[in-house]
Amino acid sequence: MNKVLAPLLFLLMHEGAYSECRKVPIYEAKYDFTWYQTHGSYDCVLAEQMESDDMLAGYWFEEKTGTLFIVINNIRVGKDIDLDYYGFNENYINSLLKRIDNAKAIKLRRRFSYDGSIQPQIELRLEEAGFKR
């Protein structure tokens, strides 16, 4: 009986550890191609984006309000950028909300002020969350 119980217990624990992250197949008929999109908790979904997008400085989640704050590196060539031009707009927020299960709202924050100086309150939150970009 222990031989059956041990593998069953391992499978249940293994599946539970990864239940927050799941790959959802998205079929694109125009190209006859299926690609996989990550869905689940905010840590799961944003982990891939943090690796591939240097414009993302970090994020933190407020449990009380259910709000996810995403911080954008907003200075390019010494100037403040237009976040809409770079794709950080309502469409971006809505696409993330569809993929993230535990966030009620997403707010984008600029990491630097318009003149390039750091914003201490943003840096403090990023440091608390463990981001050092």
Domain-embedded: residue 17:
no
Whether residue 9 is predicted with pLDDT greater than 50 in this model: the reply is no
pLDDT category at 133 given cuts 50, 70, 90 is low
pLDDT of residue 48: 87
Burial of 37 (0-12, 13-18, 19+ CB in 10 A): middle
Domain-embedded: residue 40:
no
Domain-embedded: residue 124:
yes
Domain-embedded: residue 1:
no
Total number of domains in the chain: 1
Report the alpha-carbon distance of residue 40 to residue 103 in Å, rounded.
10
**Which percentage of the chain shows pLDDT scores above 90?**
73
Domain-embedded: residue 51:
yes
Domain residue limits at 59? 46-129
Domain-embedded: residue 73:
yes
Cα end-to-end span (Å), the chain: 52
pLDDT of residue 78: 87
The string of pLDDT tens digits covering residues 52-74 is: 999 999 999 999 999 999 999 99
pLDDT category at 14 given cuts 50, 70, 90 is very low
Average pLDDT over residues 27-31: 93
Q: Is the pTM of this model over 0.85?
A: no
Average pLDDT over residues 3-7: 47
